[in-house]
Amino acid sequence: MKGYLRADGRKGIRNIVVVVYLVECAHHVARAVVSRANSDAVQLIGFPGCFPNEYSLTMMERLCTHPNIGGVVLVSLGCEGFNRERLSKTIADSGRPVRTLVIQESGGTRRTIESGLEAVEATQREIAATPMVDMGVAELVVGTICGGSDGTSGISANPAVGRSFDTLVEQGAACIFEETGELIGCEQVMADRAATPELGQEILAAVEKAENYYRVMGYGSFAPGNAEGGLTTQEEKSLGAYAKSGASKIHGLIKPGDVVTQGGLYLLDVVPDGEPRFGFPNIVDNAEIVELIASGSHLVLFTTGRGSVVGSAISPVIKVCANPETYQKLADDMDVNAGKIIDGEGTVNSVGEEIFELVCKVADGEKTKSEELGHQEFVLTYKQFEPTGPACLPVSR
């Protein structure tokens, strides 16, 4: 496969220009720029809040310097609390072209949209010369998430993704599974798979933190749709979610924005640190996808039993459907029919191999269903995280 070589030595599987709104007041202008640019290589991301938040700034820095991104256009109202100067410097220091538009200084909506289109076109011209070089499986970072789970998820799509993860890890890739809040009850099993005893203790603490967070908020990750789909308990859902991780040793525990730099299996802790105060940790699946991308995921495997039609900005999303009936209803949105396992037409191993092969094809430029349909969902909210300790960091294998 081929990848786009970035100044920091990482390689991307896409060459995107992102238009970034830095406050909700600039959202419409940024969206209009992307709409009028009319290119799937120009995508919209942003942060709606106004007061400063270190998490959102760090996340945006990681996202705007993601290897799939070639250049950036920032759209600011002008008076928001977001530190646009630091973000712009971080992007420029990464070797990417970055242009900043300030609506209050650019003449308002119409003029800023026109300036934005000019900025996008100039950025596209610059990144067109990005060299494409050979890229191996060992250079990939692949994330996984489950959404709209039902009674079939834990016996078809999730274990098949786990098998594909095992293959990817064996070939040197980095794989990230989430989230601690959906793995309550599986903490000891995960701790036993940790590369070191110290990491095992950190995993136990992370799940305990998630359990406390949900208890204080009065709501867990078990949704009405899960029950309608045949799941009966949080533990049953957790076991299904856990199956996505495969059987490899867990190499490290990371938090959103911790960029994975070496191969292995990683657990992403998405539950905020400190006293619970931000509401439900991830209000929609796309918030978790964004966090996987911020940690370096070139692409994301999304398993679903009830069905989901979302994709994402920046990184392609491969949807793996667990339920054969759902696949028939939503075939245009699904990339892999893991329901074949339920129907006896495939096995966990064969579907896992199919997923692995599709990962390689998408990494080499083949479009996913969500890309073909134009899905570019993106959600970023307020959170708070403390730095990871040494026990969470990867060790030499």
Render pLDDT for 158-179 as a digit per residue (tens, 0 to 9): 999 999 999 999 999 999 999 8
Give pLDDT < 70 ranges for the chain. 220-239, 395-397
Give me the architecture of the 2-133 domain, per CATH: 3-Layer(aba) Sandwich (3.40)
User: Domain locations in the chain?
Assistant: 2-133, 137-392
pLDDT reported for residue 279? 80
Render pLDDT for 25-70 as a digit per residue (tens, 0 to 9): 999 999 999 999 999 999 999 999 999 999 999 999 999 999 999 9
| DSSP one-letter string for 156-168 | THHHHHHHHHHHH
pLDDT reported for residue 238? 63
pLDDT reported for residue 229? 61
| DSSP one-letter string for 303-321 | EESS------SSS-EEEEE
**Packing angle of the helix pair 157-170, 348-363 (nearest 10 deg):** 60
pLDDT reported for residue 185? 86
**Residues with Cβ within 8 Å of residue 321, at least 6 apart in sequence:** 157, 303, 304, 305, 307, 327, 330, 334, 336, 337, 338, 339
Nearest to 18 by CA among 66, 64, 62, 56: 64
pLDDT reported for residue 125? 97
